Amino acid sequence: MTSSKSHVPQDAEDQSLFTAFTTYMGFIVLFFFGHLRDTFGKLTGRSRFRDELLVKHVDEAPLLDPQGGAFYVRRLKHRMQDCFFRPISSRPGAWIDVMEQRVDDNGVRMETTGETKRCLNLGSYNYLGFADDWDSTCGEQVHAALKIYGPASCSAQGDAGAMSVHRELEEVVANFVGKPAAVVFNMGYNTNQLTLPAIAQAGSLLISDKLNHTSIVNGCRASGAKVMAFKHNMADDLERVVRKAIIEGRGKPGEVYRPWTKIIVVVEGIYSMEGEVCDLRAIVDVAKKYKCYTYVDEAHSIGALGKTGRGICEHAGVHPDEIDILMGTFTKSFGGMGGYIAGSQELIDYLRGASAGLLYSASLSPVVAEQVLRAFQIIQGEDGTTVGRDRLRAIKDNANYFRTKLKQMGCSVLGDDDSPIVPMMLFHSTKIAAFSREALDRDLAVVVVGAPAVPIYGGRVRFCISAAHTKEDLRMALKKISEITKVLNLRYTRSIFG
């Protein structure tokens, strides 16, 4: 068996029986009284959600399933809607202007008041701080691109949307990640969702990490291939799944044995809800042993991991030639938008004629493509400065400092060193809203996460650290977070009661 480091989910490791009990009891109370109020509303018509609950025509099914996701929206999200979709009226830099809101009379909708609040931004994927200094990446080159190309391509790459700036960006990406070729997409989410169905079909097997991003999950489902999951970041379990799949083949028991046409192992460089770094060396060893292809999503790791920002391969000491398909986005470290696939020339040529994201969707804005090119130049030091090198060092130092201080505070913190994503466990759904509000009151803008994005016991706040944060910013944030953890009893590693 291939050895791998242990990756028992840390939220399960740190959660006491008392915390687990009270978390589940909270949801039991929610379900009981929520359904009770829904039933009362249907019978009497007295409910702020009456239009949603009452079936207007007996021969029509309701548009929204009142017992499905709509129940969570009615009875949970509406109670904490002020914690999500907060409008921002500034660039998403280290500090942002959050527009203040108020709830309307029925508590259903949020309305902006016209006032703003200046907050330290601990929620945006501004890893290398380009959002704070867009003048460096949106200077003369980008202004010239706007005059030459305009703001949009107005066409798919397969038609008239493949511009010279796209080809230049693709060459830069390929060279940067160490692959022969690359192709760019206009959206990071679609890069996964529309590439996986192009490379896997019926007869193929996709083996996906249990905690892979929704874009990967939906791409796998849309492919028509068989999908299996392995325990998060555990190469030993991956090998078990691969061996079993090869032995059993794709036929039903009792049928003639039929092998899989291909097996693709899909993982992420950094897992966005956990902040954990992929155990890539061990996973690649398993894939190579059983002749599986590897697909690595570097949305959060490219530009943030590795001495020169080249992502998980550089960080883990894995040569890019050992990975078949590298995926990444420009929305995090590069301050832009869109994504890319890098691999063999044969693969990229195939995707240009097979991926719906390249055939039917307008290509990446040429202005954004030029901005991302400028970001690559800065990261590689081609601008003649040390800005890129300094920011790569800063993101690592800031993330490790912030993570260490939270742990010393007694908080239950997920993830690995060097990861710019630092999740802190809240567990209770009520504490999700409470933390967000307490943070905003103290001029901290944070992102909180609850079910169904994570398991019902996995409520957390996800801090995203930036190279643009100063040590004074982080010290101030930690002081205020310390106050909140005392108020809400969030020091789970020190007490079973938090």
Give the tens place of pLDDT for each residue, 96-146: 999 999 877 566 678 899 999 999 999 999 999 999 877 777 778 888 999
Q: Is the distance from CB of 459 to CB of 481 less than 8 angstroms?
A: no
Predicted confidence at residue 6, as pLDDT, reads 38
The per-residue pLDDT of the chain, averaged, comes to 91
Q: Which of these three, 353, 380, 407, is where a domain ends?
A: 380
Provide the b/e sequence for 242-266 (b: ≥16 CB within 10 Å): beebeeeebeeeeeeeeebebbbbb
Same domain, 185 and 254: yes
Amino acid, res. 305: L
Predicted confidence at residue 3, as pLDDT, reads 39
* pLDDT of 7 higher than 50: no
Q: Which of these three, 347, 380, 413, is where a domain ends?
A: 380
Same domain, 341 and 482: no
DSSP secondary structure string for all residues of 312-335: HHHHHT--GGG-SEEEEESSSTTS
Residue 1 placed within a domain? no
Amino acid, res. 115: E
* pLDDT of 1 higher than 60: no
Cα 90 to the chain's mean position, in Å? 22
The Cα-based distances of 105 to 48, 52, 109, 281 in angstroms read 10, 18, 9, 56
204-209 and 325-329 as β-strands: parallel, antiparallel, unpaired? unpaired
What is the per-residue pLDDT across 422-476, written as a single tens digit (0 to 9) for each? 999 999 989 999 999 999 999 999 999 987 788 888 999 999 999 999 999 999 9
Same domain, 211 and 321: yes
State the total domains in the chain: 3
Per-residue pLDDT band at 338 (split at 50, 70, 90): very high
pTM: 0.91
Residue 8 placed within a domain? no
Predicted confidence at residue 464, as pLDDT, reads 98
Provide the 10 A C-beta neighbour count for residue 92: 17
| Residues belonging to the chain | 498
196-214: average pLDDT: 97
388-415: average pLDDT: 97
Q: Which helix (H) or strand (E) is 130 found in, with range?
A: none
* pLDDT of 405 higher than 90: yes
CATH number, domain with residue 487: 3.90.1150.10
Q: Is the distance from CB of 273 to CB of 242 less than 8 angstroms?
A: no
* pLDDT of 71 higher than 70: yes
Q: Is the distance from CB of 110 to CB of 102 less than 8 angstroms?
A: yes
* pLDDT of 210 higher than 90: yes
* pLDDT of 59 higher than 70: no
CATH number, domain with residue 139: 3.40.640.10
Predicted confidence at residue 496, as pLDDT, reads 74
Per-residue pLDDT band at 410 (split at 50, 70, 90): very high
What is the per-residue pLDDT across 478-488, written as a single tens digit (0 to 9) for each? 999 999 999 99
Predicted confidence at residue 10, as pLDDT, reads 47
Same domain, 138 and 209: yes
Q: Which domain holds residue 138?
A: 133-380
Per-residue pLDDT band at 60 (split at 50, 70, 90): low
Q: Is the distance from CB of 207 to CB of 264 less than 8 angstroms?
A: yes
Predicted confidence at residue 106, as pLDDT, reads 61
Residue 402 placed within a domain? yes
Per-residue pLDDT band at 345 (split at 50, 70, 90): very high
Q: Any idea what DSSP says for residue 298?
A: -
